[in-house]
Amino acid sequence: MEQILRIEHIEKYYGNKGNITKAIDDISFEVSNGEFIAIMGASGSGKTTLLNCISTIDTVSAGHIFLDNTDITEIKEKNLARFRRENLGFVFQDFNLLDTLTIGENIAMALTINKVPENDIDRRVEEMAEKLDILSILNKFPYQVSGGQKQRCACARAMINNPKLILADEPTGALDSHSAQMLLTTIQTMNQELNATILIVTHDAFTASYSRRVLFLKDGRIFTEIQRGEQSRKQLFGKILDVMTLLGGDLSDVR
C-alpha cells in the first residue's frame, strides 16, 4: 500500500540544561494509506507527545515527520493552522461539538472555514451523514440527540475534509463500555468503508483491539509492535494483554 506517514528518528526534549526530560527517544515507523494503528504505553511513555508532534501541536527536537511526502517539521508556524485544517482530522475525547450549532453545521464547520461553496457544503455534509447514519438529525442541536449520535457527528466532522490522517487521543477515555464500543464501531467503519487512515493513542486494550496494528511505547521508544493479520479482534486483545503484562501495564484499565 501507498505510504502516507513516515516518522524518521524523531526526538523530543523538555526542560532546561541540567533538568532535561527526553519524552521521545529516536522513534521511527511508517503508516500506509488506509491503515488503522493504535499506540499504547503507560503514562509517561511518550504516546501523547508523539501524537502532538504528528499533529503539529508540538515540535520535534530532532528528526523528521513526513505526511504524504511533506516534511511537517519544516512548515512555518504561520502556515500550521491551515495545514492541520486541510490535512488532518481529529476525534476529541469530549467531542467538542458547539451547542449553538446544529449537527449539520457542526459537521460543515471546517468546509465553511475553507470557503467551500455552499452547495458543495450541503452535498458533502449529507453524503457523510448518510454514510454514518445521522442524516435524519442534521437539523437538530447536540443537546437534542443521543450520545452515540454525537459521537458519529464528531466522526463525520473529522472526515468531512477528506483528511490524509485521522488522529484521536484517548477517544474512549471518558466513555462507559457501551458508548466506547459504539464509537469504536464507527471509527472502524470510517477505516474499512471510507478508507480513512487512523492513528489512535490509548492505554486501553479494548480500544486498541479494534486496530490492525498496535505500537507499544516504553520510556519514549518503541518497545514492540503487533500486527493483527488474520487474527480475530479477541485474539489481538489477548496478545495486547500479554504485552501490557510485560510492560507492567495497569490491567485495571482493561474494559
Q: What is the pTM of this model?
A: 0.89
Q: What is the predicted pLDDT for the residue at 205?
A: 93
Q: Which residues neighbour 187 within 8 Å (Cβ) at sequence distance 6 or greater?
A: 36, 91, 155, 166, 168, 171, 198, 200, 210
Residue 237 burial by Cβ neighbours in a 10 Å radius (0-12, 13-18, 19+): middle
Q: What is the predicted pLDDT for the residue at 171?
A: 86
Q: What is the predicted pLDDT for the residue at 249?
A: 53
Q: Which amino acid is at 67?
A: L
Residue ranges and CATH numbers for the domains of the chain are 3-97+165-253 (3.40.50.300)
Query: Cβ–Cβ contacts within 10 Å for residue 36, how many?
Result: 21
Q: What is the predicted pLDDT for the residue at 42?
A: 86
Q: What is the predicted pLDDT for the residue at 113?
A: 86
Question: Would you write out the chain's pLDDT as a tens digit for each of its 255 residues?
Answer: 799 999 999 999 998 877 888 899 999 999 999 999 999 998 889 999 999 999 999 999 999 999 999 999 999 999 998 899 889 999 887 778 999 999 999 999 989 888 889 889 999 999 999 989 899 999 999 999 988 898 889 999 999 999 999 999 888 887 888 888 888 999 999 999 889 999 999 989 999 999 999 999 999 999 999 999 999 999 999 999 999 988 875 544 444
Query: Contacts for 72-81 with beta carbons within 8 Å, 24 or more apart?
Result: 80/56
Q: What is the predicted pLDDT for the residue at 254?
A: 44
Q: What's the grid cell of residue 173?
A: 477515555
